[in-house]
Amino acid sequence: MNADGSRVSFADIIPYQHAHYFNWGGRSVVHAIAQFMLASGIFFGDIINSIGYVALALTIYCIANKNNKVNISLFVGINLMIWFLVPSLVENIFWITGSANYLWGTLLIFLFISFYCSAFLNNNLKDSRIKRIVMFLFGIIAGWTNENMAVAMIFFVICLMLLIRKEKQVMCKWMLFGLLGGVVGCAFMLLSPGNYVRNIVELNALSSGGEEPAYMFYFYRFTNILKIATRYFLIPSIIYLVLMLLYLKFKKDNDNRILFLSLLFAVTAGVAILAMVAAPIFPERVWFAILILMFTATGLLYANLDFSVILLKVPLYIITGMVTLVFFYSYWQSLNDFRRIHDIWGERERIILAEKQKGVKDVVVYGRFKASDSWFVKPKTGDIPLDSVLWLQNACGRYYGVNSVKIFDK
């Protein structure tokens, strides 16, 4: 919805994505999803987005809990890890463009690889011409979502196919067609003219004006990513290692495929991190899909523990229960924050429109939002940086029909 009341229509999706592909980026699939949700309006867009989150959580659960009984604590644990360990949850789930890029992009990739996981764990030998065509097309869609995750997805599928060979299972042709589709989709995305345009713009924004060898840039990116990983990847890795030790001690059966699949998800998360070396920037929201890979690896181990062992079952349930109580407090705190910022933006909009009526072209509003904070709960929302980011000030201005909108502290 634009400030003048007009709505971006469904008919705009194709021409907009054509322009996007050639002028800014190659993620046509996820940006088409973003436009679809925006064109659906606030209510229906939020409903669609909520369905996407539930679908992703269920897909992770189904992969991790394959061939097991219903495991409520596993499903709860998956959602708790997402809530507490994803560093930029608002941008990944609530912001529509971010959600389309990361939540929906991850969902498409996980739905795609779930077929391979099911075939690996169940020794599913069903094959047909229709399935090959469907998997090829699905591969194109999944591979055309997000650069580092598409590379990680292709790595995952190739390794899983090698594992299928190692286990002396039959290699179905639909697996090869799906892999080929993933490569094609990834190529369409990476080779888009818009990707080169965006890459140059972002590199110029990072450049200090000096010239340095290309290998120095990538070396710097690699070392910087390792530093960032200690902040966002360390705790999930520790949780995974603890579950690995518990699994090796208290595993339900001797099926090595669970261990292999879990390790593959964990290694694929590492590949997704390393793929970011080629990207000029590494924003917090990129960690979403990477961490989802780790959560799935952890869930596979948890789901296949022998919970008949009381000394294992009771402590894990107590820990899950305690973290759930913290979640309720965190959720209540975040809900109040969302209500506050909703009211604040209502007042801001009234001021901006009043200034516009007076003929003011560069509107300044005072009073920035500060989220609630506590020593064990990270805020889930925050204010738009309209105090410092020029292009956001200008974009907000265009939305309201003025030159710019700036928001400063009182």
Does residue 225 surpass a pLDDT of 80?
yes
Task: Please give the biggest Cα pair distance in the chain.
Answer: 76
What is the value of pTM for the model shown?
0.91
pLDDT of amino acid 206 = 64
Residue with tokens 């080629």: 278
Q: 140 with 189: CB under 8 angstroms?
A: no
- CB < 8 Å & 24+ apart, contacts of 279-284: 279/147, 279/148, 279/221, 280/199, 280/202, 280/203, 280/205, 280/206, 281/202, 281/206, 282/221, 282/224, 282/225, 282/228, 283/88, 284/87, 284/88, 284/91, 284/232
Residue with tokens 């000096």: 210
pLDDT category at 356 given cuts 50, 70, 90 is very high
CB atoms within 10 A of CB 206: 10
Instruction: Summarize the confidence of residues 6-25 as an average pLDDT.
Output: 83
Instruction: Say how far apart CA 369 and CA 109 lie, in whole Å.
Output: 36
Counting residues of the chain whose pLDDT is more than 90, the rounded percentage is 63
Half-sphere exposure of 5 (CA within 13 A, CB side): 0
In terms of average pLDDT, the best of 39-43, 99-103, 372-376, 391-395 is 99-103
Nearest to 243 by CA among 187, 312, 308: 312
pLDDT tens by residue, 75-109: 999 999 999 999 989 899 999 999 999 999 999 99
Q: Which residue has the higher pLDDT, 4 or 157?
A: 157
pLDDT tens by residue, 296-310: 999 999 999 999 999
Does residue 180 surpass a pLDDT of 60?
yes
Does residue 125 surpass a pLDDT of 80?
no
pLDDT of amino acid 8 = 67
Instruction: Give residue 135's identity as a one-letter amino acid code.
Output: M
* Residues whose CB is less than 8 angstroms from the CB of residue 289 and which lie 6 or more positions away in sequence, other chains included: 102, 105, 106, 109, 146, 148, 149, 272
Does residue 313 surpass a pLDDT of 70?
yes
Helix (H, G, I), strand (E, B) or coil at 318: helix
pLDDT of amino acid 250 = 94
Residue with tokens 């890029």: 101
Does residue 184 surpass a pLDDT of 70?
yes
Instruction: Summarize the confidence of residues 121-137 as an average pLDDT.
Output: 89
pLDDT of amino acid 368 = 87
Instruction: Say how far apart CA 53 and CA 65 lie, in whole Å.
Output: 18
pLDDT tens by residue, 316-341: 999 999 999 999 999 998 899 989 99
pLDDT category at 4 given cuts 50, 70, 90 is very low
Does residue 348 surpass a pLDDT of 80?
yes
Q: Which two tokens stand for residue 105?
A: 């992009």
Domain boundary assignment for the chain: 10-199+211-308, 330-408
Q: 113 with 156: CB under 8 angstroms?
A: yes
Alpha-carbon separation of residue 36 from 39, 97, 194, 349 (angstroms): 5, 11, 21, 25
